[in-house]
Structure 1
Amino acid sequence: MPYKACIALSRRVPEILLERLREHADIRMPESDAPPDLVSLMREADYALVIPGDRVDRALLDACPRLKMVSTVSAGFDHIDVDACTAWNVRVCNTPGAVVASTADMAFALLLSAARRVVEADAFVRAGRWNKEAAPLFGMDVHHKRMGIIGLGRIGMELAKRARGFDMDVAYHNRRRLSPEEEERLGVRYLNLDTLLEQSDAVMVQVPYGSATHHLIGAPQLARMKPSAVLVNTSRGGVVDDAALAEALRQGRIAAAGLDVTEGEPEVHPELLKLPNVVLTPHSGASTRETHLRMTLEAFDNLLDAIHGEPLRNCVNPAKKEESA
């Protein structure tokens, strides 16, 4: 009888979604919705499906010698020790394509909420302060303003599309400048980072986190922004220096901010929590039912690619032969 691969799922998945996987592998998953003991679950597994709350580290890899690949139901992979996986010859795959549109939606929602003071206005009404004598809560127009996107990857490009619907002028900064043809197609223009910060009414941060982007936006960069500007971060905590941001907001050096991610999340800098001009959401850019389904199916596709020996489309640590293919 031919060997059938074993896939360990760190959370329960509706049976209707598992039909494709069961055709090609035996499935192990927890008996309840409680977070499982990953070592016990994955010890005999060839492949694993995990979520951001699951820590894949050297200890887990040591205990799971059969493991060949880990597929995470997320775009980010901070919860996985990729270097250790590479050393153990374990491939790591994520689901970046599924989150693009919904994350761009969230970024624009944060921009509108912060610029138009939506959360403050909601609290104002709920507190019974809305009456004929009440002063209006003036915010900032978003339409016909300039958006500066730091990191024009797939999510950044979706942001640019949405900005055009608001008749915004869109500038961007990337490590690699796009071709003139791509810039014309997207309706964007390139600026160096300092100029983008100085000229933009809305600064949208959408870069991966790493040593090169740690505190990419700190006190010196915030000082370059307009006093009327809004900063939005839907990338990763740590890209923005939250302490410096809180001070800039408190002193009115920028007008407002919208953050879906924070340093050390789920912890939030205490000074940010005190400020009315920052909108905070709990890293929920991809938190829609439709997007979560797409993420799960994309993670399944990653597993099936591995089982069938196909090139891994979303591999963050490809083997040398995959890199050269």
Structure 2
Amino acid sequence: MKISVTILSRMPPERSRLVLSYAPENFEINIIESSAPIDLQINACKDADAIILGTPNIDMSVLNECHKVKLLQTLSAGYEELNIEAISKIGIPIANNGGSNAGAVSEQVLSIALMLIRGTLKHWENAKEKKWREGIRDLNFGELGNKKFGIVGMGPIGKELAKKLQGFQCEVSYYDINFLDPITENELNISRTTLNNLLKNSDVISLHIPLNEKTYHFIGKNEFLKMKKNAIIINTSRGGIIDEIALLKALKEEQIAGAGLDVMESEPPKENDALLELNNVIITPHMAGVTSESNSRSALFAFENVNRAIAKKEILSVVNTKELLTYRS
């Protein structure tokens, strides 16, 4: 049986080729730019059995014409740009990438943490400027090993990060609205704590929560005041989770020691963004989850999930289950 799948994306050609290389033989794939006019998007999507989003956004006027679609599948972990309520009302399940980028993002967190704690960028700048070994005796640099590491959000990325931190013998605690089962906590050698305790006790804090009304500016002035003076905060989730004005103040006034940001409230940041000028901040251009390996995993996951939807099997990583149940009852 032929399955019609439309991929709505602004992916570069090389990633499109990679994604297509994992498509099952019975899939008829139609790729259209997400910036294409709405009428062209409707024409490309209206007869599709499933839509895969390279960029997690689609106009409702397109979906309202898609009466055959059984799944809206993103290649990304984030989905905050989608109108979940409206999409649920027309009965379309939405699934994200199921943690396909967890390995990549967790590695980026460790990379940023190590660079900040070891002062790698400062040493690199000194070496380029021929200031060999300058400042290395100041003892302002440390080790990640045995540090207290706090993870906010224990989804696939948080769990993968906890697993990797075992090699550093860190004392890992986590905060999540849900409890992990005791077996998983024991396997990952982690313990659940309150947000206040995590903020007060952690040397490194890493954020892995979705952006929504409840998590907007989840970390702000009051949270920074609770942190250690030597604390580092890392955000690879979404920019709006941290109040950047409060972060700038906390860094300038040395309330905390440093920050690592793969995401920002405005992307790209404004040219005069003061965070770009600080030497205790590492900023990367929203690339933590982008590797050839994670792209391959997300493509495989997407096509397998489409197969599940068509076969009326349980769809994995659905993000609007509760809303669908509400509107279908």
TM-score range, shorter chain: 0.7 to 0.9
Q: Which has the higher contact order (CA 8 A, sep 6+)?
A: 2
1:294 paired residue among 271, 283, 297: 297
Q: How does 1:6-45 map to 2 (within 5 A)?
A: 6-11=4-9, 13-14=16-17, 17=20, 20-23=23-26, 25-30=27-32, 36-37=36-37, 38-45=41-48
Contact 2:19 2:296 in 1 (8 A): no
TM-score of the superposition, structure 1-length normalised? 0.87
Contact 2:151 2:205 in 1 (8 A): yes
**Distance in 2 of aligned mates of 1:46 and 1:16:** 18
User: Cα gap change, 1:276/1:87 in structure 2, threshold over 3 Å: closer, same or farther?
Assistant: same
**Distance in 1 of aligned mates of 2:49 and 2:313:** 16
**Distance in 2 of aligned mates of 1:199 and 1:164:** 18
Contact 1:249 1:256 in 2 (8 A): yes
Q: Which amino acid is the alignment partner of residue 67 of structure 1?
A: V
TM-score of the superposition, structure 2-length normalised? 0.86
Deviation at 1:166, TM superposition (A): 1.2
The answer to whether structure 1 residue 314 and structure 2 residue 312 are counterparts is no
2:203 paired residue among 198, 201, 208: 201
The answer to whether structure 1 residue 185 and structure 2 residue 187 are counterparts is yes
Q: Partner of 1:104: helix, strand, or coil?
A: helix
Structure 1: give runs of 5+ residues left out of the alignment.
none
Q: How does 1:222-301 map to 2 (within 5 A)?
A: 222-267=224-269, 270-301=273-304
Greater shift, 83-92 or 268-277, is seen at 268-277
Q: Partner of 1:253: helix, strand, or coil?
A: coil
**Distance in 2 of aligned mates of 1:16 and 1:264:** 28
**Distance in 2 of aligned mates of 1:315 and 1:176:** 17
Greater shift, 58-67 or 231-240, is seen at 58-67
Where does residue 164 of structure 1 map in the other structure?
166
- Summarize deviations over 1:192-250 as a string: whole Å, max 9, x none: 21122111111111122222222111110101111111111122221111111111111
Q: Partner of 2:318: helix, strand, or coil?
A: coil
Contact 1:9 1:29 in 2 (8 A): yes
Greater shift, 11-20 or 298-307, is seen at 11-20
1:93 paired residue among 89, 95, 110: 95
Q: Which amino acid is the alignment partner of residue 6 of structure 2?
A: A
Q: Which amino acid is the alignment partner of residue 77 of structure 1?
A: Y
Contact 1:243 1:271 in 2 (8 A): no
Contact 1:21 1:304 in 2 (8 A): no
Deviation at 1:39, TM superposition (A): 3.3
Q: Which amino acid is the alignment partner of residue 58 of structure 1?
A: M
Contact 1:10 1:36 in 2 (8 A): no
**Distance in 1 of aligned mates of 2:291 and 2:99:** 14
Deviation at 1:297, TM superposition (A): 0.9
Q: Which amino acid is the alignment partner of residue 315 of structure 1?
A: V
Structure 2: give runs of 5+ residues left out of the alignment.
none
- Summarize deviations over 1:154-182 as a string: whole Å, max 9, x none: 22222222222112111222223334444
1:109 paired residue among 108, 111, 126: 111
Q: Partner of 2:206: helix, strand, or coil?
A: strand
Give aligned pairs, total: 315
Q: Partner of 2:263: helix, strand, or coil?
A: coil
User: Cα gap change, 1:34/1:179 in structure 2, threshold over 3 Å: closer, same or farther?
Assistant: closer
Contact 1:232 1:259 in 2 (8 A): yes
User: Cα gap change, 1:182/1:299 in structure 2, threshold over 3 Å: closer, same or farther?
Assistant: closer
**Distance in 1 of aligned mates of 2:166 and 2:208:** 18
Contact 2:70 2:310 in 1 (8 A): no
**Distance in 1 of aligned mates of 2:312 and 2:300:** 18
